[in-house]
Structure 1
Amino acid sequence: MEDSHTSFSFSLPDRHVVLITLSAISLGWYVVLWSIGLVGWRTARRRYRLRPRSPLASASASAAPGVSILRPLKGLDTNLYENIESTFTQEYPNFEILLSVADEHDQALPVVRDLISKYPNVDAKVIIGEEVVGVNPKVNNLIRSYRQAANDIIWVIDSNISVAPGTLARSIDALEGPPSSSSTPLQKRVGLVHHVPLASANEGYFGASVEEAFLNTNHAKMYLAINTVAIESCVVGKSNLYRRSDLERVNGSLKPKPNSADCELEPENHGLAAFGRFLAEDNMIASALWHELGLRHDLSCDIAHNAIGKMSLSDYIWRRVRWIRVRKHMVMAATIIEPFTESFVMSLIAAASLRHLFGLAPWLFLPVHHLVWLWIDLDVYASLAGHSIPADKRWAFIVAYSIRELLALPIWFLGVIGNEVVWRGKKYEVLRAGEIKRTKGSAIFNGWLGGWRRRSNDTNAYEPLPLVHE
């Protein structure tokens, strides 16, 4: 009896110590996440509220580096005419535009030809016909334009993106960097310039509104914070600018390369063609430049304006599921901790910790947390957009924002339990490092999932193609 009592008396302090320790760790994590969010908020305010005109905008053609703008097209995207026109109206003296389509009957071609006629002084070409170098249809569509580009600097812009007239000039400023000074240590060279996406949903689809609320607030805030801290590559491929001479030295292995170019590699084993095996080729290109060549990334003070078309709530959910399944094969650790970076889960953990450590009632803490978090996110939106959310849309936006927050954890669970993704009606299996392969069978998931999921109206309007050797 005495031994039993002694054992029991020692178990209580042990349990208390464990709870105190876990609560302190959880509260520390909460502070870290808030700090990261505030870095993103501060970056949005400082970098995006003022967009100065670049000196290159009024320079002579001989004084500005040549740029080849590559736009892969398929079908009639939302605001396609305005999206493509935004590249014709760049305030930059030395660029060409290569517009690529896989099919000579593509619906985008009349739009392209109309713009070429409207801007006869712009060096623009249409390249028809794809070259299959892998499973990724965007890469297959781009490869001929990439090889025919006249300039070393390449700017790849998705078809659903429009940009401000000064974007290219400011991006070249970021890519070239300031002149080096012998009195200061040299930084790593910039290998890639990218632009934070800013979405707009104007067609009344609820899924599009949820996507808009996600991209323009929490996603933008964390994206800016991670790229400000810059301890790892983090790039969305809506609008990326890099040098072809750098891309020709990498192959997606993420293993450091020697300083000399790898001239002995076969064409399909390096350069753009090497990334045809990845679903997220844009992210892998950025990671390859970062890890294989030791180059850093930079953001200009511009946005990539993403017009979202017809996206239902189901489309939104399965789009997020797809990218979670890709990310977990690329950055497993970051994917596993993802739920603990979301406001809803993080606030519940912090509320429990504060109650245990200080006796603070959750009903006092949680409303304050969510109101301040929302205010920060709305201010990030205002910094990027250049204006606050219009008063007549504010409550609808907050509803979409709240639905996004509540869906984040269920979507994460759905994403981590599988490896298959449906992309434009066809099924793929995600492999190591984000590579993909076509899988046999129906493109729709079996069971109750198949009954609920509809064909995705993804904003990335590329039709997947079979593997070269299937």
Structure 2
Amino acid sequence: MPYYNWVYFVQLAIVAGVMVILFLLVFSHTMAIIFARSHFYKKVAFEPAAVEAGLPGVSIIKPLVGIDKNVYSNLETYFRLDYPRYELLFCLESADDAVTMVVDTLMQKYPKVDTRVFTSPVRHNVNPKINNMMQGYSAAKYDLVMVSDSGVKMRPEALMDMVWCMSQKDIGIVHQMPFIEQRPGFRNLAHSTHFGCTHAKFYISAHCLGINCCTGMSCLLRKPVIDKKPGGLAYFGRYLAEDFFVAQHFIENGYKMTLSHYPALQDGSGEVRGLRRRLIRWLQLRVAMVPQLVVLEMLAECLVSGAMGAWAFAFLLPSLVNPIVYFLTHCLIWLLADYTLLCSCLDPAEPLMFSRLAFMFTWLFWIGTQPITVVRSLFHSEIVWRDKRFRLQWGGNTVELPGLPVNLSAAKQAV
């Protein structure tokens, strides 16, 4: 083929782009593994003088809606935190909520823990989580506020670690990487495979590169900074992805974010289809806020990048590279890298709850079905969350739609 043929030069340009993508994927995988091994579960401690002077108090806001799996054991971990001064602010949708019994039982079991319960949320904007949390946020008595979802379990030393991270220079937010509490079984492994592989790779890479990746699942915030906005936390209720815009507000005010040494431990016993609905909802939010990022996510999938790489190398070296062999080798290396990353996110003091063979089959399941998740998110602009329906607008603004979801039980499982 002559060099002046424009088609050939277009193909070369595409090959160059594919090579850049493959390099970035290798770089992000390597960076995530190194960071996870060196950062997670690292022991830190305050200087004795700082402890004697008194550590800052923390107001922990727990928005609760209904009974989740293992809710008692999850909530109990917050009554047993190894930290001298904190309060628990449980925010319920109503006094008739079934989770009230769980909270009352724990309050009786741990009477020395400063705990308050709120059962009268006021609608401030479209985000139901913000509306619920505002009860506790308005009553918080400390400048450090922690937002923690109902399904998150916390290690005793995690709050001390997060406050220590907050004490470092210019830090305004300390967030925990979403992960899974390890239990035996396929459901737990399916959740762990997503949060410990694909999600961990992007989350850690974004953190290391200074990209806003904060999630509101479990994070420690400086309340005075939030209160710079009119209405404080209520201002961010106009967005469903309030965590992204809260973090952006901190960045605009000159603060940095950092990652706790302990991941946020979600319960991984829920149905896989429930997790799939969560992933679709998160993708829909990203499409509305940063659509270019979704395109990069699609190109960064194992199967897509493997197919692109097979074509690119076969184009450059047709006599040396077999596209099928390259594609299979690409997937094998990706599998090994994901397994290494998942193990790096686990506590080395705890035994593995799964075999390598079980991980391989679960990984194949996720890799094979991920493109379907992406496609479904692109063709649905309506979001179902809890018992409400929303439509996203460009930029992240949200409009609540009238009427209930068709499948209300499915909506609740997708929280």
Q: TM-score, normalising length from structure 2?
A: 0.91
Structure-2 residue corresponding to 1:193: 174
CA distance in 2, matches of 1:379, 1:34: 13
Encode CA deviations 1:278-315: one digit per residue, 9 max, x unaligned. Answer: 1122222112222x3132110021110000343243x3
Match of 1:223 among 177, 194, 203: 203
- Give, in angstroms, the shift of residue 10 of structure 1: 6.4
Decide whether aligned partners of structure 1 residues 10 and 374 sit closer, same or farther in structure 2, where only a CA change above 3 A counts: closer
Match of 1:283 among 241, 244, 250: 244
* Identity, % of aligned positions: 26
Structure-2 residue corresponding to 1:246: 225
- Give, in angstroms, the shift of residue 319 of structure 1: 2.4
CA distance in 2, matches of 1:132, 1:56: 43
Q: How does 1:437-448 map to 2 (within 5 A)?
A: 437-440=399-402, 443-444=405-406
Please state whether the residue corresponding to 2:395 is helix, strand or coil: helix
Contact 1:90/1:164 (<8 A) preserved: yes
CA distance in 2, matches of 1:417, 1:40: 31
CA distance in 2, matches of 1:16, 1:283: 42
Range 351-360 or range 316-325, more displaced: 316-325
Decide whether aligned partners of structure 1 residues 95 and 392 sit closer, same or farther in structure 2, where only a CA change above 3 A counts: closer
Range 162-171 or range 414-423, more displaced: 414-423
Please state whether the residue corresponding to 2:66 is helix, strand or coil: coil
CA distance in 2, matches of 1:316, 1:173: 32
Structure-1 residue corresponding to 2:14: 22
Decide whether aligned partners of structure 1 residues 13 and 96 sit closer, same or farther in structure 2, where only a CA change above 3 A counts: same
Encode CA deviations 1:189-213: one digit per residue, 9 max, x unaligned. Answer: 111000011124759675x653332
Alignment-mate amino acid for residue 334 of structure 2 = W
- Give, in angstroms, the shift of residue 328 of structure 1: 1.1
Decide whether aligned partners of structure 1 residues 329 and 98 sit closer, same or farther in structure 2, where only a CA change above 3 A counts: same
Residue 369 (1) aligns with residue 316 (2): no
Alignment-mate amino acid for residue 275 of structure 1 = F
Contact 1:72/1:100 (<8 A) preserved: yes
Contact 2:145/2:223 (<8 A) preserved: yes
CA distance in 2, matches of 1:202, 1:425: 29
Contact 1:58/1:91 (<8 A) preserved: no
Please state whether the residue corresponding to 1:432 is helix, strand or coil: coil
Decide whether aligned partners of structure 1 residues 120 and 424 sit closer, same or farther in structure 2, where only a CA change above 3 A counts: closer
Largest Rg, 1 or 2: 1
- Give, in angstroms, the shift of residue 275 of structure 1: 1.3
Please state whether the residue corresponding to 2:176 is helix, strand or coil: strand
Structure-2 residue corresponding to 1:131: 122
Residue 305 (1) aligns with residue 265 (2): yes
Structure-1 residue corresponding to 2:34: 42
Residue 356 (1) aligns with residue 315 (2): yes
Decide whether aligned partners of structure 1 residues 154 and 225 sit closer, same or farther in structure 2, where only a CA change above 3 A counts: same
Structure-1 residue corresponding to 2:95: 104
Alignment-mate amino acid for residue 431 of structure 1 = Q
Alignment-mate amino acid for residue 227 of structure 1 = H
Residue 90 (1) aligns with residue 50 (2): no
Encode CA deviations 1:102-147: one digit per residue, 9 max, x unaligned. Answer: 2111111121122222222221122221111112111111101101
Match of 1:77 among 68, 71, 80: 68
CA distance in 1, matches of 2:15, 2:88: 56
Structure-2 residue corresponding to 1:3: none
Please state whether the residue corresponding to 1:308 is helix, strand or coil: coil
Please state whether the residue corresponding to 1:219 is helix, strand or coil: helix
**RMSD (Å) for aligned C-alpha atoms:** 2.5
- Give, in angstroms, the shift of residue 355 of structure 1: 0.8
Q: How does 1:142-153 map to 2 (within 5 A)?
A: 142-153=133-144
Residue 341 (1) aligns with residue 321 (2): no
- Give, in angstroms, the shift of residue 76 of structure 1: 1.3
CA distance in 2, matches of 1:215, 1:406: 16
CA distance in 2, matches of 1:57, 1:99: 32
Encode CA deviations 1:327-363: one digit per residue, 9 max, x unaligned. Answer: 1111121122220011110111011101111231123
Contact 2:285/2:396 (<8 A) preserved: yes
Decide whether aligned partners of structure 1 residues 58 and 420 sit closer, same or farther in structure 2, where only a CA change above 3 A counts: farther
Range 415-424 or range 237-246, more displaced: 415-424
Q: How does 1:48-63 map to 2 (within 5 A)?
A: 48=40, 50-55=41-46, 60=51, 62-63=53-54
Decide whether aligned partners of structure 1 residues 119 and 320 sit closer, same or farther in structure 2, where only a CA change above 3 A counts: same
Structure-2 residue corresponding to 1:455: 410
Please state whether the residue corresponding to 1:120 is helix, strand or coil: coil
Alignment-mate amino acid for residue 155 of structure 1 = M
- Give, in angstroms, the shift of residue 417 of structure 1: 2.4
Structure-2 residue corresponding to 1:156: 147
Alignment-mate amino acid for residue 242 of structure 1 = L
Decide whether aligned partners of structure 1 residues 221 and 389 sit closer, same or farther in structure 2, where only a CA change above 3 A counts: farther
Q: Give the unaligned 5+ runs of structure 1.
A: 1-8, 179-188, 251-264, 445-449, 461-470
Q: How does 1:322-333 map to 2 (within 5 A)?
A: 322-333=281-292
